[in-house]
Amino acid sequence: MFGRRFADLLLFCVTSAELIILFLLTPTFTIADWIYVLQHFIVLGIALTRPRPKVRDYSMASSMAVGAAYVYPYAQVIYLRWSPGHVAWPTGGLALVTLAAGLSLVSLLAMGTRFGVRPALRDLVTSGPYRFVRHPMYLSYILGDIGYNLQEWNFGTILLVLGGWASLVYRIHVEEQVLSQHAGWPTYVALVRYRLFPALW
């Protein structure tokens, strides 16, 4: 493990910290929470086995977007403890969160050792949900955010989500610049026209 590259060790450590935070901040676990726990264990394995990227974006803007994407979900939980929100539709919210967790897991399994946090090119993923949209993992984040806010929301959580979504849109832009250096990218883009939402964008 100590012979691994810094980025892989960082991913391993951050994912381990996320697991601890998840257990600390989650009073009762739903099926969606257990799916996220499973995903974190898969990422721990990926961090120790994934190949070196052929291309990677090391820019400060990209690092800030990655940091924002990591922070905003936990910031919502902390903010709701400080300022309780409004309940909208808990049952629908839980169903959407569970759907999002399932989509996130399937996307992660499709990526396998090509998974990364920073925009990078390890190979082009075209199977599973990537046959329908180019960034299904990010779509799962958006669905999950909507689901959690249906369970409990306030003005602060809405602002945090909008900031998080802005970071996701930026990451999509940068990732596609990196992925465009793969020889199969033009063919993939022609087949899968939409980034997040079929028939929309």
pLDDT band for 3, please (50, 70, 90 cuts): very low
- List, in order, residues 6 or more apart from 29 with CB less than 8 Å away: 37
Can you tell me the distance from the alpha carbon of 192 to that of 189, in angstroms, rounded to the nearest whole number?
5
Alpha-carbon span 57 to 117, nearest angstrom:
11
Q: How many CB atoms lie within 10 A of CB 88?
A: 12
Per residue in 130-142, pLDDT tens? 999 999 999 999 9
Name every residue whose Cβ is closer than 8 Å to that of residue 142 and which is 6 or more positions away in sequence. Answer: 100, 165, 168, 196
Closest CA to 49 of 112, 6, 2: 112
Question: What is the number of structural domains in the chain?
Answer: 1
Contact, 78 vs 125, CB < 8 A?
Answer: no
**In terms of pLDDT, which residue wins out, 29 or 158?**
158
| Segment 16-32 mean pLDDT | 86
- Does 201 reside within a domain? no
User: Is 87 domain-assigned?
Assistant: yes
| 200 falls within a domain | no
Residue 83 domain-assigned?
Answer: yes
Give 1's pLDDT tier (boundaries 50, 70, 90).
very low
Indicate the SS3 state at residue 86.
strand
Share of the chain above pLDDT 70, in %: 98
pLDDT band at 4; cut points 50, 70, 90:
low
For residue 80, the domain's CATH number is 1.20.120.1630
For 89-127, what is each residue's pLDDT tens digit?
Answer: 999 999 999 999 999 999 999 999 999 888 999 999 999
pTM score, whole prediction: 0.91
What is the 3-class SS of 141-164, one letter each residue?
HHHHHHHHHHHCECHHHHHHHHHH
Tell me what the mean pLDDT of segment 59-67 comes to: 93
